[in-house]
Amino acid sequence: MNNLKNVGQIVFAVPFAIFGIMHFMKASDMSGMVPSWVPGGVFWVYVIGLALLVAAISIVSKKQIYLASVLLAVLLFVFILTIHLPALIGGDQMAMPGLLKDMSLAGGALLIAGLFKDNG
């Protein structure tokens, strides 16, 4: 069972590490995704990239995994509320897959937080 848990952690964390790296490599391209009412566009892309990398490292290394996973879930729900939902309401039907993806990932982050609540 622990082997499955370890593999699951890594499989869950790796995409977040890649997403984090992509935020640094494509920051100017991604700055358009920051809601227009939030000042600082590209600054927030870097902050989110760092947050994603730190969360991935925390999950793989099992250091502060509970806190990192809960904060990751909160971040994903913020994406849903500030990016995907407004786009969907605005008529962008392609926002639904992003909304569902982030909802599922937030659920996975909360599941990992629950698994590690007492030990990290």
Q: At what angle do helices 95-115 and 65-79 cross, to 10 degrees?
A: 160
| Domain range list for the chain | 2-115
Closest alpha carbon to 81 in 37, 46, 51: 37
Closest alpha carbon to 51 in 81, 80, 74: 74
Predicted TM-score of the model (pTM): 0.90
Closest alpha carbon to 113 in 75, 79, 77, 62: 62
Calculate the CA dihedral of residues 87, 78, 10, 16 and round it to 10 degrees. 60
pLDDT in tens, the chain (120 residues): 688 888 999 999 999 999 999 999 999 888 888 878 888 889 999 999 999 999 999 999 999 999 999 999 999 999 999 999 999 999 999 999 999 999 999 999 999 999 988 765
Residue that has been written with the tokens 């600054």 in this structure: 43
Strand intervals (E) in 1-120:
none
- Give yes or no for a contact between 112 and 62, defined as CB atoms under 8 angstroms apart: no
Classify residue 32 by its DSSP letter.
G
Closest alpha carbon to 48 in 68, 6, 19, 25: 19
